[in-house]
Each structure stands twice: as structure tokens, then as C-alpha cells.
Amino acid sequence: MQLSSGLQMKTKKSILISILFICVFSLTFVSASNNQFILKDGSQTYIIEMVSANEQASSATLKINNGTISSSSEFYPLQPSSPFSPIERLGPHFVLTDAKSSTLSSNSTFYIGIEKKFSDTDPIKYLSFDGNNYTFRFVDSDSGIYPNEPWAVLGINNGTSDISYEFSEQSSPPYVFKEKNGLYFVLTYGYGGVDSLKATFLMFYKKTFNIVQESCTSECNTSNTTTCETNQSYKSCGNYDADSCLEWSNVTSCSSNETCENGKCIVKIIPGSNCTNECNTLGANACYTDDAYRACGNYDIDSCLEWSSMVSCNPNEICENGKCLTKPSPEPTPKDYCENIGIRTSSKYCSTKNLWVTQKSSESSCNNDFECKTNSCLNGECSRGSNASNMTIYIWAGIIILFIALVVFLMLKLGVKPRSSAAILRSRFEA
């Protein structure tokens, strides 16, 4: 009886240890999966991991491995609710929407996608996003009729349902996502020809990465600041390891003719008897012309300071107090003003600010018809169609009708009666 009780106790202990092991393993697996995304495109597998997120810089770094080469890339936030341009790295396409970091964790949210091309001879594609399997079936597409509005229909099966959706073409970035069946789509090309059907899609999956880090203490307070280690070397404050804390870099030595002061290497200035300083402050700049400056430094073999060669500013800049600054926008002149908002002349229109503005091209954002070259603003964009072209058709049709009426009038005036087609045929038959 005692033996049986001991066996039961050992069995219970074994079960408890097994359960504890499974829990620890499960937590480890979840933690790893939160920092890893696997995209399978047929036989091609992409493993994507977050390296770090920097809330201060609004950026996140990912490591992408496509099975043959790996690369780490830094991304900056874009908002998919607004027009965006995805970034392609080693095959997949990325849109970063959020990046956060603290001393204990870092996380970032990405839309990760792949471009797939369909045709009537290659209509089915298989993809797996983070362990979720999808089958995509190309149904139909059309290049549209005037005005040109290409579209395509795609069937999506996530293992439980197969639903077809219609998409309108967005031929070039920036794009706007279309969310269907838990995925996010952009139709970049739709074609429906006589002999074939084609379509190209960008298909995205939303993924939030997370890194839980051990607590740490920063060795320095402000990133990118420097301090002298010795009188001929310095070190920089930054994040140089895997945690989120700041630490000092390795020591950087100054040149033999330099000394470290206030965290910077500066040239030792020992004025000699055979030279005189042309300027007094090392590193100071001074304007040389309205669009160029010179810097104070030691640019020759003696120990004195002199001005550098002239450094020109950019074409849109001027020099002020030794710095190149952007030229201020010119004030409007009297000829730039107008009185009647909406009036158009010479490809310009009178804006709501009573200034003449050049009319906008097709697909530019707009609020009023008169802002567009096509004179048509639809859904906040200058349309591709042109009301002017329609007006031209009406004008020519009117001219033709007037011409026919004038010919009939002259014939009646001259006593020539218009003859019907039946009369003409009868006269020829009698002849």
C-alpha cells in the first residue's frame, strides 16, 4: 500500500514537471514567434526578424533572410490609412506604421507583403503569412473603357471560405490599402485583352513584432554626445549593443597634431614667429560672397590659422553669418493677384487666396473644377477625362448641323428642291 502511494506521488511529480516544461517551452516559442515573421511563397521562404525599434528616431530595423542572402534594413513610419509607398527588400515589400521602445521592450508594426502576377494560364497562387495559409484564385480582369479604369476580381480562400472581391487598379504609388479577408491588397495592374487576362497584386499581412529586454542602466545620458577619455582621445555616447540602454563607445584617438578638448579633437595652435593668423577662431565660418563662405582652420604646413577656399552654397541658398540658408520665398507682386476666384486664363486660375496659380494635372488633389487642366475635379482628384474635349465634340456637331442647314437654305433660295433618294432612283430607272 505504501509502495503504491509512493508510485502515485512520483507519477504526480513527473506530470507536474512535464506540464511546467511544456509551459516554459510554450512561452519561449510565443516570445520567439512575436519577434519573427515567416512568409512562404511557394517553395521560397522568407524569415523576417525585428532587430530593434527606436521611438526617438521613429524607426525600426528588420533582418530579412530569403534563404540565400540576409540583410538588415532600417525603416521609417508610414501610415497605410493615407497614401503610402512600400519599400522592397530582398523580395518582400514593407510598410512600417509604428515604432516604440523603452528600457524593457521594443515593438513595431509592419505591413509585410509580396508581389504576385496572375494570368488566365497561371491563375492560382499559394501563400503563407505567419503560419496562416491562403489560396488566391484569379477570376477576371479588364483594362476598362474610357475613362480608363482597369479592375480585377480575385478569389481568396483562407481554409474556411472562398470569397471573390473586385479591386480597382492603382498603377503607381502612393497607394491606399484595400482590406479583404484579414489581408491588405493593392491592384497595381489589370488587363483584359482579346486573347488573355492579366493582373498584378501586392498582398500584405499586418504583423506586430515585440522584443522583451532585460532591465539595464545607461552609462551616459544623451546619445551622440562625446567626452575626452585622455588629452588625445575621446568616446561617444550611443546604443552599441542589443539592449536599449546607452553606453560609451570604444575610444577614438586624435591625430598627432591634435588635442582633445570638450569631447572634440582640435588642431594644436602654436603661432610661430614666421606667420600670422588670418582668422582667430578655429572652425568659425564667415561669408565670402552672398552665396559662398570660408572656414577658419590650419590648411598649410605652418602653425597659423588661415581661411579655407571658398565653399559655394546650393543654388537655392544664400550666405548669412557664415551659414548657407534657404532663400526666402519672394513676396507676391501686384501682377500675381486676382479678384474673381475661379476665373481661368492661360492655364492659370484665380485661387481662394486671390493669387494666380497654374492649373493642376490629372490625378492631382483638388477642391474645385477650375483648379484642374481638365476642368473636372472628382472625389478630390483632377479627373483623367476632359470636359473640354466633350465640349469640342458638341461644337463640331453644331458646326456640321449649321452647315447642312445653310446648304438646304441656299438650295431653296435658288429654287432647287432637295430630292429624296427614292426620286433619284425612279428617274434613273425611267431613263
pLDDT class for 28, splitting at 50, 70, 90?
A: very low
Query: Would strands 356-358 and 377-378 be described as parallel, antiparallel, or unpaired?
Result: unpaired
For the chain, counts of helices (H) and of strands (E): 3, 31
Burial 53-69 (b: 16+ CB within 10 A, else e): bbbeeebbbbebebeee
Mean pLDDT across the stretch 370-390? 76
Report how far residue 133's alpha carbon sits from residue 5's, in angstroms, rounded to the nearest whole number.
49
Question: What is the percentage of the chain residues whose pLDDT exceeds 70?
Answer: 82
| 199 pLDDT more than 90 | yes
From 99-103, 137-141, 312-316, 317-321, the region with the lowest mean pLDDT:
99-103
pLDDT class for 209, splitting at 50, 70, 90?
A: very high
pLDDT class for 162, splitting at 50, 70, 90?
A: confident
More confident residue, 35 or 269: 35
pLDDT class for 423, splitting at 50, 70, 90?
A: low
| 388 pLDDT more than 80 | no
| 421 pLDDT more than 60 | no
Mean pLDDT across the stretch 187-192? 91
Mean pLDDT across the stretch 332-341? 83
From 8-17, 44-53, 68-77, 220-229, the region with the lowest mean pLDDT:
8-17
Q: How far is CA 15 from CA 12, 21, 23, 24, 73, in A?
A: 5, 10, 12, 14, 45
Report how far residue 410's alpha carbon sits from residue 153's, in angstroms, rounded to the nearest whole number.
59
The whole-model pTM stands at 0.46
| 258 pLDDT more than 70 | yes
Report how far residue 181's alpha carbon sits from residue 205's, in angstroms, rounded to the nearest whole number.
11
Top-confidence range, 9-13, 78-82, 227-231: 227-231
